[in-house]
Amino acid sequence: MKEEDLVYGFGEAVRGINKRGFSYESFCLDDDMHTEQKHSLYGAHNFFMVSGEESFGVFVDYPGRVRFDVGETVSSKFMIIVEEFCFDLYIIEAPTMKEINREFRKLIGRSYIPPKWAFGYQQSRWSYKSEEEVREVATHFREKHIPIDAIYLDIDYMDHFKDFTVSNTNFPNLQQLIEELKQQRINLVPIIDAGVKMEEGYSVYEEGIRNGYFCTDENGEPFVAGVWPGKVHFPDVLNPDARTWFGSQYKSLYDMGIEGFWNDMNEPAMFYSLDGIAQLIESIENVKGKNLDMDTFFQMKDKFANMMNNLTDYQSFYHNVNGVRIRHDKVHNLYGFNMTRAAKEVFDNNYPEKRILLFSRASYIGMHRYAGIWTGDNRSWWSQLLLNIQMMPALNMCGFLYSGADIGGFGDNTTEELIIRWMQFGIFTPLMRNHSAAGTRRQEPYAWEKIDVIRKIIGIRYGLIPYLYSEYMKAVLNNEMLFYPLAFEYPDDSRARGVENQLMVGESIMIAPMYIQNARGRYVYLPEDMLLVRLKSVKEREYSMYKKGDHYIDVPLDEVVLFVRKNHIFFLGNEAESVPELDSENLEIIAWADEDISYQRYDDDGETKKYRASEHYSTIWVEWENNQYDIKVQKDNNTIFKHYDGQNIFHPF
């Protein structure tokens, strides 16, 4: 690598937008400490792009372990280590980063499209443990007028963590609850785990055993791992019959009215294997009464720490792929991929006209066709907010457009300031979900003193949906990115190439999120003239025109800021409390223009699938006429003057 080369990609990975200076290892891993030295997270995204004198993209299609040493060992050397020879290598050449990415995306297929309600605010917690608790959460939101579209069920809704069961004790009338919530325009989204509990009489377990649908150990017996339910088997989702069988299980919940699912623990996560735990207990027994030297002590300690997600365990079970027995570790990164595909294929076959929300924790390149992802068990740390910001364009490069992090942070206690700043960024991510771990401080919007600030921020999200949805859909249909680095838009601007804390969002805006504790302002680099929009709420807005260059801007805790590119059209919708309440026609058009400009807008019903229909497209025009700006909207060659409103249209200096 030359000193000036930049490297982008690797999807779900730690560190900055420019990936130089570290090694990334593709091996889906359940690890909730996303600190700087972690080489693997939940997803395995073997794609990168180099921007330099020569620019190109590389996709290493191999489902086992791949290591990318991007100048970690020797700062000028990029090394790729693939464990076996049986991989496909794609090298994509095109003149710009955007074009390289478009070519790659064409290759790997169109990104998943969720229902439009999935662009609303979503509230989760491990766990809302009963129907009463779920109702209480819904009531808080609706009574306090905090917008929301979905509430999540984490593992405790199940009967003893058995997939596709519902606890009789805590959720005796789930179907009724679903209906009740739907009347409040709130969707209930349950979790589905990978491991199937071993329990006589549990139909999923028994069917799996009867048909040989589980992964097997060396002796051909179903492999036993320890996860939430205790001992489980893993459905062999790489086997097409088993995959269809597992996917069809989702129907029982769908039939109750569930329209969204999140697939978890599908790296697959393993707390221990039967062999592993037995060996560990034995080795500890052996030291009993002996003088414990430090080597032995640390060996024991390490063994315990390494029980979880152990490579030896991943090497000790097998898949049956069309009659061929394949050791798991060689196809490890395809497990979550195929678990999610299982659901998606069954949905597509059974409900071909219905969009269903689906996202996964583990993933591999290509899974973006079936579902979105969330970025797993992050922490309530400021550095994880920055990671969220820097990860979004990398995920988009790999086709994962429907994605987002646990806002506020999953593990550890969050603070009011952190959740406010995280929300201010989260309003731009397609998946906007507040989620937190058991044992941590409550972090729902109504848990805070500054509930008004948070309510307004979520309100701004709903105002953004018309723009976000339009840009999301265009990105999906045209193989573009929703989030992209400044360098992709301004490749010849050497300063833009170094910007790691601002992002382009769609074609019209740039964001400069706040991610530092106690900061009340920040530096922003503008690669061109832009209009700064300050929002205290959708309706409370201020504008100022900024010239290309460096600026320091104040960003109080109660303001969302964004920048509209000069001669680009941005627009906001109304203050709705749920997606169905959005008025998608009456928009406020915001622009700073010194010429006639236009924007092609996409919109649809958010439920059905005729994405390519021309009726979904309209064109917004801002035109200079009689010394004033005029706004018009064209659809199907008809011009409709929605309203005359120059009040948010700014003239050149």
- Binding region for a copy of itself (CB under 8 A): 15-16, 18, 20-22, 33, 35-37, 71-72, 74-76, 226-231, 271-272, 277, 281, 284-285, 287-288, 291-294, 297-298, 300-301, 304-305, 307, 379-383, 412-413, 415-418, 449-450, 495, 498, 500, 516-521, 523, 525, 550, 552
Alpha-carbon gap, residue 126 to 228, rounded angstroms: 13
In eight-state DSSP terms, residue 112 is P
Which pairs with CB-CB distance under 8 Å and at least 24 residues apart come from 581-586?
581/185, 582/462, 582/465, 582/466, 584/466, 585/642, 586/642, 586/643
Q: Closest CB to a copy of itself among 326 and 386?
A: 386
Q: Catalytic residue, from 149, 259, 313, 377: name it.
A: 377
* Measured CA angle at 568 (ends 618, 634), to 5 deg: 20
User: DSSP string covering 19-47, please?
Assistant: -TTEEEEE-----S---TT----SEE--E
Residue 250: which H helix or E strand, with range?
helix 240-255
Alpha-carbon gap, residue 406 to 393, rounded angstroms: 17
Minimum CB distance to a copy of itself, residue 127 (Å): 14
Q: Closest CB to a copy of itself among 326 and 447?
A: 447
Q: Closest CB to a copy of itself among 75 and 608?
A: 75
Q: Catalytic residue, from 30, 149, 193, 264: name it.
A: 264
Q: Is residue 449 annotated as a catalytic residue, yes or no?
A: no
Nearest 5°: phi and psi at 148? -160, 150
* Measured CA angle at 429 (ends 38, 110), to 5 deg: 90
Are the CB atoms for 52 and 4 separated by under 8 Å?
A: yes
Instruction: Give the chain's end-to-end CA distance (angstroms, integer).
Output: 43
Sign of the torsion angle spanned by Cα atoms 218, 223, 226, 231: negative
Are the CB atoms for 115 and 355 separated by under 8 Å?
A: yes
Minimum CB distance to a copy of itself, residue 191 (Å): 15
Q: Catalytic residue, from 12, 267, 489, 507: name it.
A: 267
Are the CB atoms for 118 and 149 separated by under 8 Å?
A: yes
Minimum CB distance to a copy of itself, residue 21 (Å): 5
Q: Closest CB to a copy of itself among 67 and 642?
A: 67
Torsion, Cα 33 35 37 42, to 10 degrees, reads 50
Pairing of the two strands 187-193 and 196-197: unpaired
Q: Closest CB to a copy of itself among 221 and 293?
A: 293
Q: Closest CB to a copy of itself among 252 and 415?
A: 415
Write the CB contacts of 359 (distance below 8 Å, at least 6 apart in sequence). Answer: 262, 263, 371, 372, 373, 374, 402, 403, 431
Token couple for 275: 């062999």
Q: Closest CB to a copy of itself among 551 and 616?
A: 551
Q: Is residue 264 annotated as a catalytic residue, yes or no?
A: yes
Identify whether 95 is preceded by a cis peptide bond (ω within 30 of 0): no
Token couple for 487: 């360098």
Token couple for 525: 């680099």
Minimum CB distance to a copy of itself, residue 439 (Å): 11
Minimum CB distance to a copy of itself, residue 20 (Å): 5
Minimum CB distance to a copy of itself, residue 161 (Å): 8
Q: Closest CB to a copy of itself among 294 and 324?
A: 294
Q: Is residue 255 annotated as a catalytic residue, yes or no?
A: no
Q: Closest CB to a copy of itself among 558 and 623?
A: 558
Minimum CB distance to a copy of itself, residue 275 (Å): 13
Minimum CB distance to a copy of itself, residue 5 (Å): 11
Residues identified as active-site: 264, 267, 377
